[in-house]
Amino acid sequence: MNNQNDHRRNGPRKSFQSPSFRPMKTKHAEDKKRPMPSASVRFASPQKQADNSNMSLDQWLNSMELPAAAQTVRPAQQKSAKPAGSNNRQQPPRGLPLAPVQPQSPRSKSGNFQFPQMAIAKQKEAGTKARGEYRRETRKSQKGYPVPPTISNIGPAGNKLRIIPLGGYEEVGRNMTVFEYGNDIIILDMGIQFPEEDMPGISYIIPNVEYLKSREQNIKGVIFSHGHLDHIGAAPILLEKLGNPAILGRPLTLAMVKHRQDDYKKDTAKKLKTIIIKSVQDKFKLGSFDISFFQIDHSIMDAVGVIIKTPNGTVIHPGDWTLEKDKNGKPKLDYTHLTKLPRPTILMLESLGAVDIRKSATDEEMKNNLSKIISGALGRVIIGTFSSQTERISWIIELAEKMGKKVALDGYSMKMNVEIAKKLGYIKANKSTLIRIEEVDQYPEKKVVVLCTGSQGEDNAVLARIIDGTHKSIKLRKIDTVVLSSSIIPGNERTIQRLKDNLYRQCDNVIHGNIMDIHVSGHGNREDIAYMLKQIRPDYFIPSYANHYMLKEAAMLARGIGFDPKRIIVPDNGSVIEFDRGGFKLMDKKVPATYVFVDGLGITDMNNIVIRDRQQLAEDGMFVIISTIDGKTGHLILNPDIISRGFVYLKENKRLIEMTRTKVRKILKDENPLTAPDDNYLKDKIRNDIGKFLFQKTEKRPMILPVIIQV
């Protein structure tokens, strides 16, 4: 997946249950004639392979030995062995009561209304209750659904394979899975999730790694399946937290991780311990785990499927995937060779397309349509797409070059990804073909193609600035052709609808996926999921990387084609699944998997207090009451001053403001002890009484901030 540009809960009124991200599509061919080596390339200590750890990103890219282009041998289909038996799945206990909330630290002065008679202890309890609500909401908000308790200290896995998803199983994004055997741990992906509308000020969300605290020394490596942000975006923060373990990935994937690391903290990418997967035939030994790979199709170059072998089972994880098909609709890749892996096999299949019944367009159809659009355009062609679509971007550049057109790239991530791909040799273009965005007006309109970001309607993205007229170099014209070559990320529907409305007002030639096949999704649909299950024939099936309802739909699809329901596992974030030779067990308790918010460059508010306050400010505004009193007697010296932001317009509500001032004067007079005043008591009294008064008058609950000035 990819937010970079293809995908996105909490608070007293909303649930943090539905994020969104962004897909894409890619392939990489490996040597078709090259036989699979019989002996594994084993690395007893991955850290010793990190001989490039002191290089900058540019030095690393320039020194890299890239594998020759090739294709993978596709073994003939064979019948798989009959799945071995297993224990019945253990269901989590129903109706498990939540632990009672205990008073902790005092609640923040958020301005939430409290009745005057509320006890001080209950005031202190409020913050703790909000945190408890948040944790329950993020695990399961459905009525009647049992919420297993959370525990961060689970004993060693012993002679069992333990699988723990820390993200990506209740949302789109934040993908991260922990695999544990004995005292050894490996991690697959470290992705981010993008915020939704009810998360003001949050940049993105990362997985919670509390379970891995004190286990850092056991982490043998982190494998990145591909370079989309929902799989690598959290790497700079989490790798640092976990002691910078070795990381494995294909060249483009590792280059993107290094670039993101330098963006996070300058000149820190050279500290990363990188191991390059030069070919899908490569094999590695990470502690108790034997790691190998297989070819997949996805919307970004250098995506790989991962095979994890342990004594108690073999995990097959394609990461994000799709099925690229020929003109007859037949998949180009064959996966029957995966049936020969040691049993039992556990297929963890990304199931984002479990509810998609549409027929997928082929790559050939998409290219034919884009060719007709670019060649027949009378004005400039402006194509909005995902910056990680390196294969499609490369093809468009080559096509424009053949047609004698110039290509301008715009958008920070677009320029950076193209530059990285050029250094790796994945994008080849004449210097004369690529021009700066400032130079577009120097060429005839019909000779210019612009590739830019912003197809999801993101604020401040290139396409948004072109539409609202703030772009410095491009002003939209009626004769221009605008192409939205991307899918709609779940949760972005309204934003994209507004984007289309504004485009149609200014341009006569707008083309998108609803009227023409100009985008191929990087995710398999319902039919493709069934195809993968029939090809691989796993002993166990774990739907992965999607919202919960999508995982359930994938499970029902598997049952519909004859898969044993007792061998299907639909986990939540934080679930602990243990496999041994007798079968599997879904543990009653979960590890912490709540949201960790990143605000700017730092982690903020794991307990939801800041988010709650921001939501209150956004919904009901702020009401500041400034009272100046005598520091010795407590007498009110000046008339209370009132400031309202986002609550009521002062000039149109003079009567309400005067009534509030009168109320404040009365509170200060009644509570005047004729001795040195207690500021905290007066603030709480004003907050509670004025909160009740304003709610009676307006039915709103603004954040009330009393200010007491003693003179």
Q: How confident is the model at residue 633 (pLDDT cuts 50, 70, 90)?
A: confident
Specify the domain boundaries for CATH 3.60.15.10 within the chain: 25-88+157-352+527-599
Is residue 184 within a helix (H) or strand (E), and if so which, with residue range? Answer: strand 184-188
In one letter, which amino acid is 441?
D
Strands (E), 343-485: 345-350, 381-384, 406-410, 434-435, 448-452, 481-484
| Residues 6 or more apart whose Cβ sits within 8 Å of residue 31 | 67, 68, 70, 71, 72, 279, 281
Closest CA to 234 of 648, 522, 598, 557: 598
Q: How confident is the model at residue 104 (pLDDT cuts 50, 70, 90)?
A: very low
Query: Is the alpha carbon torsion for 324, 326, 331, 337 positive or negative?
Result: negative
204, β-bridge pairs: 598
Model pLDDT, residue 243:
93
CB 389 within 8 A of CB 24: yes
Q: How far apart are CA 490 and CA 497, in angstroms?
A: 13
Q: Which of 24-33, 300-309, 404-413 has the lowest mean pLDDT?
A: 24-33
Average of per-residue pLDDT across 98-111: 41
Model pLDDT, residue 11:
38
Instruction: Say if residue 406's pLDDT is above 90.
Output: yes
Query: Is the alpha carbon torsion for 440, 441, 447, 449 positive or negative?
Result: positive
Topology of 363-511 in CATH?
Answer: Rossmann fold (3.40.50)
Query: Is the alpha carbon torsion for 277, 281, 285, 289 positive or negative?
Result: positive
Give CA separation, 392 vs 70, 389, 451, 495, 519, in Å.
Answer: 19, 5, 11, 24, 9
User: Cβ atoms within 10 A of the Cβ of 13, count?
Assistant: 8
Q: How confident is the model at residue 261 (pLDDT cuts 50, 70, 90)?
A: very high
Model pLDDT, residue 552:
96
pTM: predicted TM-score of the whole model, two decimal places: 0.73
Q: How far apart are CA 408 and CA 284, in angstroms?
A: 41
CB 111 within 8 A of CB 702: yes
Model pLDDT, residue 606:
56
Q: Which of 122-126, 137-141, 367-371 has the lowest mean pLDDT?
A: 137-141
Q: How confident is the model at residue 607 (pLDDT cuts 50, 70, 90)?
A: low
Closest CA to 140 of 609, 584, 549: 549
> Which DSSP letter does residue 172 get?
S
**Where do we find the tokens 């679930």?**
575
Instruction: Say if residue 457's pLDDT is above 60.
Output: yes
Model pLDDT, residue 608:
66
Instruction: Kindly report the backbone phi and psi dihedral angles of residue 161, in degrees, each rounded to the nearest multiple of 5, phi listed first.
Output: -90, 120
Average of per-residue pLDDT across 552-571: 96
Closest CA to 603 of 266, 259, 242, 238: 238
How does pLDDT run across 491-547, given as a tens digit for each residue? Answer: 677 888 888 898 999 988 999 888 888 888 889 999 999 999 999 999 999 999 999
User: What is the overall mean pLDDT for the chain?
Assistant: 80
Q: How confident is the model at residue 581 (pLDDT cuts 50, 70, 90)?
A: confident
Q: How confident is the model at residue 139 (pLDDT cuts 50, 70, 90)?
A: very low
Give the 3-state secondary structure of residue 12.
Answer: coil
Model pLDDT, residue 58:
64
Model pLDDT, residue 8:
38
Average of per-residue pLDDT across 28-55: 46
Q: Which of 67-76, 269-278, 306-315 has the lowest mean pLDDT?
A: 67-76
Instruction: Say if residue 21's pLDDT is above 50.
Output: no
In one letter, which amino acid is 463?
L
Average of per-residue pLDDT across 580-607: 81
Q: Which of 244-253, 344-353, 465-474 has the lowest mean pLDDT?
A: 465-474
Q: Which of 139-153, 319-333, 371-385 has the lowest mean pLDDT?
A: 139-153
Give CA separation, 450 vs 387, 464, 514, in Å.
Answer: 13, 14, 21
Model pLDDT, residue 12:
38
Q: How far apart are CA 196 and CA 85, in angstroms?
A: 43
Q: How far apart are CA 173 and CA 194, in angstroms?
A: 8
Tokens in use for 189?
């992906």
Q: How confident is the model at residue 52 (pLDDT cuts 50, 70, 90)?
A: low
Is residue 185 within a helix (H) or strand (E), and if so which, with residue range? Answer: strand 184-188
Average of per-residue pLDDT across 613-631: 84
Closest CA to 407 of 372, 382, 370: 382
Q: How confident is the model at residue 106 (pLDDT cuts 50, 70, 90)?
A: very low
What is the DSSP annotation of 661-686? HHHHHHHHHHT--SSS--HHHHHHHH
Q: How far apart are CA 414 and CA 463, in angstroms?
A: 12
Model pLDDT, residue 547:
92
Closest CA to 363 of 395, 320, 399: 395
Give CA separation, 573 vs 172, 241, 321, 567, in Å.
Answer: 12, 20, 21, 19
**Where do we find the tokens 């056991």?**
218
In one letter, which amino acid is 156?
P
In one letter, which amino acid is 452?
C
Model pLDDT, residue 490:
67
| Residues 6 or more apart whose Cβ sits within 8 Å of residue 314 | 307, 308, 341, 342, 343, 344, 345, 346
Q: Which of 56-70, 173-187, 402-416, 471-485 has the lowest mean pLDDT?
A: 56-70
To which CATH superfamily is domain 25-88+157-352+527-599 assigned?
Answer: Ribonuclease Z/Hydroxyacylglutathione hydrolase-like (3.60.15.10)
Instruction: Say if residue 257's pLDDT is above 90.
Output: yes
Model pLDDT, residue 51:
54
Instruction: Say if residue 344's pLDDT is above 90.
Output: yes
Instruction: Say if residue 4's pLDDT is above 50.
Output: no
Model pLDDT, residue 562:
94
Q: Which of 21-35, 49-63, 233-247, 599-613 has the lowest mean pLDDT?
A: 21-35
Model pLDDT, residue 64:
61
Q: How far apart are CA 578 and CA 587, in angstroms?
A: 8
Is residue 276 within a helix (H) or strand (E), and if so which, with residue range? Answer: strand 274-276
User: Cβ atoms within 10 A of the Cβ of 445, count?
Assistant: 15
Q: How confident is the model at residue 232 (pLDDT cuts 50, 70, 90)?
A: very high
Model pLDDT, residue 18:
35
Average of per-residue pLDDT across 187-197: 88
Closest CA to 43 of 257, 270, 303, 276: 276
Specify the domain boundaries for CATH 3.40.50.10710 within the chain: 363-511
Instruction: Kindly report the backbone phi and psi dihedral angles of residue 506, in degrees, each rounded to the nearest multiple of 5, phi listed first.
Output: -110, -15
Instruction: Say if residue 322's pLDDT is above 80.
Output: yes
Q: What is the CA radius of gyration of the chain?
A: 29
Class (C level, CATH) for 621-710: alpha beta
Q: How far apart are CA 240 and CA 253, in angstroms?
A: 18
Closest CA to 227 of 73, 413, 437, 475: 413
**Nearest 10 degrees: CA dihedral of 52, 304, 237, 611?**
160
Instruction: Say if residue 119's pLDDT is above 50.
Output: no
Model pLDDT, residue 568:
97
Average of per-residue pLDDT across 26-54: 45
Average of per-residue pLDDT across 431-436: 90
Specify the domain boundaries for CATH 3.10.20.580 within the chain: 621-710
What is the DSSP annotation of 54-68? T--HHHHHHH--PPP
Average of per-residue pLDDT across 90-113: 42
Model pLDDT, residue 9:
37
Model pLDDT, residue 448:
94
Instruction: Say if residue 31's pLDDT is above 80.
Output: no
